[in-house]
Homo-oligomer: A and B are copies of this chain.
Amino acid sequence: MAGRDLRTFFEPKGVALVGARRNLGFGYGIPVILKERGWADRIYLVNPSVDELHGLPVYHSVSEVPDPVDLAVVLTPAPVVPRMLDEVGERGIRFAIVESAGFAEVGETGGSLQAEAEAIARRHGMRVIGPNCVGLINTANGFSTVEVIEEAFRPGPTSIIAQSGVFGNCLLDLLHEYGLFVSKAVTLGDRMDVNECDMLEFLKDDSETGSIMMYLEGAADGARLKETLAEITRLKPVMVLKSGRTPAGRAATVSHTGSLSGEDSLYQAVFTQTGTLRAGNLENLVEMARIFSTQPGPAGNRLGIVTGSGSLGVMATDTAVSYGLEVPPLPAGVAEKIRGEAPDWMNVKNPLDVGPSWMFSKALEALLEEPDIDMVLAITIIPYSVFKNLRENGLDGRSWFGDIAALRMQYPRKPLVVCAVGHSDFVSHMGEIAGPNVPIYISPEPAARALAAHHHYWTWRLGPGDGGFRQCY
């Protein structure tokens, strides 16, 4: 299959870096990052006028690069890219990533340059990612053709396909702050050859990829996109941020990655028919990805809410119900466990507002245990002054809200998400207590909406057919 053929991009035996250079830029930085990641003996720097860089030898042409080498990363100015691709092909290298900009995205001249490069690649039977991209990262082996921060190399179950280079790069800069860790990420740029469908097919069979985030401006091939999505979403959730929703937005995409994005309603139909989760915006994409990368599928749509603030419980309920979840009356089993110890002022209902009592942890566990509750939202809130007092007295969020990470382990089959509202110290403290396997949101609505998206995806995936997929964004 075409998809499987792409593995060399992520697991090359040897890599020629064509256009390594002494001045700041990709050609300077990428060798550094690969060296740091233990790739020094598998990268071959190429530049006709340099002999040594970062303590590594520099070859004067691709033809001089020794074996084994099966991938070239091209970093030269656009005008020489066709010639470089020819040399890469002559050297017997069949995979190339072209990061150089100045092709289809800049109009006619760039377009013919790209056609020239494409013809050369085809003649050599090469697969090419780019041009106008930052290539890819594979956290499993530390291979990266993009200068990203240390934290981006921590492996996780999510893979990313992004059309835009800068945006893909900056996404990798920020995802770790949301507890999102990546298996593979690839930016496609002007898609001279490899497109999002090729990558989706590859990731479908990639055992390290559990879910997929995609940023798309326009499909390279609409019919194939639909077919590909239909296959993959039965196996892995695919979340897509598709821009160019409006005519003005579409006009802007043309000059960016040279893609024509077409009518939004067509995309919307493709996504909904194939069970592809569409994010309304960047924040939605991230908030969704966090639940899909950590939580099991729910058994049904019955949401149990425990909260330290009645207001936030109401907001979560509004959102959950609006997106098709049920917030049922508190099951008798849970009510019994709570009532005995509950203070007079507590309304033992769902959402369960435990207020300033010490019953948060008990209530949370009761909801996780309860068979008539399918998923749980824990809304943690505490005035910062009270939080500081707790800490001064040797207590912390764990004393007040329970050992959420441990509860996650204890009840592994029920989705659990946490909302923490307040001072950023408190929020990050709660992030630690929730641990890496529970997503934490800073307001109740995104938490409830992510749960709803999660439910609708799993209902669709495990359900009988194509009908009834519900978008939540």
Question: Contact partner of A166 among B148, B349, B381, CB < 8 A?
Answer: B381
B29 in contact with A445 (CB, 8 Å): no
A173 in contact with B422 (CB, 8 Å): yes
The answer for the CA separation of A372 and B434 in the assembled complex, in Å, is 50
Contact with B along A252-285 (1 / 0, CB 8 A): 1101110000000000000000000000111100
A249 in contact with B345 (CB, 8 Å): no
- For A215, list chain B residues within 8 Å (CB): 311
The answer for the CA separation of A345 and B256 in the assembled complex, in Å, is 10
- Top 10 nearest A-B pairs (CB, nearest first) are A256-B310, A147-B385, A249-B318, A281-B445, A255-B347, A164-B311, A167-B311, A170-B422, A282-B443, A173-B423
Determine whether A105 belongs to the interface, using a CB cutoff of 8 Å to chain B: yes
**Most chain B beta-carbon contacts within 10 A, residue among A29, A102, A384, A445:** A384
B149 in contact with A249 (CB, 8 Å): no
The answer for the CA separation of A90 and B363 in the assembled complex, in Å, is 44
Question: Contact partner of A312 among B167, B173, B245, B383, CB < 8 A?
Answer: B167
Determine whether A243 belongs to the interface, using a CB cutoff of 8 Å to chain B: yes
Q: Mark the stretch among A61-69, A195-203, A319-327, A404-412 that contacts chain B.
A: A319-327
The answer for the CA separation of A313 and B355 in the assembled complex, in Å, is 43
Give the shortest distance, in Å, between A142 (CB) and chain B (any CB): 16
Chain A interface (Cβ < 8 Å from any Cβ of B): 24, 29, 33, 101-102, 105-107, 110, 146-149, 163-164, 166-167, 169-170, 173-174, 177, 215, 217, 241, 243-249, 252-253, 255-257, 280-283, 308-315, 317-322, 327, 344-345, 347, 349, 351, 353, 355-356, 381-386, 389, 421-424, 426, 442-446
- For A313, list chain B residues within 8 Å (CB): 252, 256
B314 in contact with A177 (CB, 8 Å): no
- For A249, list chain B residues within 8 Å (CB): 314-315, 317-318, 321
Q: Other than the known A256-B353, A283-B446, what 11 A-B pairs have Cβ atoms closer than 8 Å?
A: A29-B385, A29-B389, A166-B356, A166-B383, A170-B421, A173-B422, A177-B424, A217-B311, A249-B317, A249-B321, A255-B349
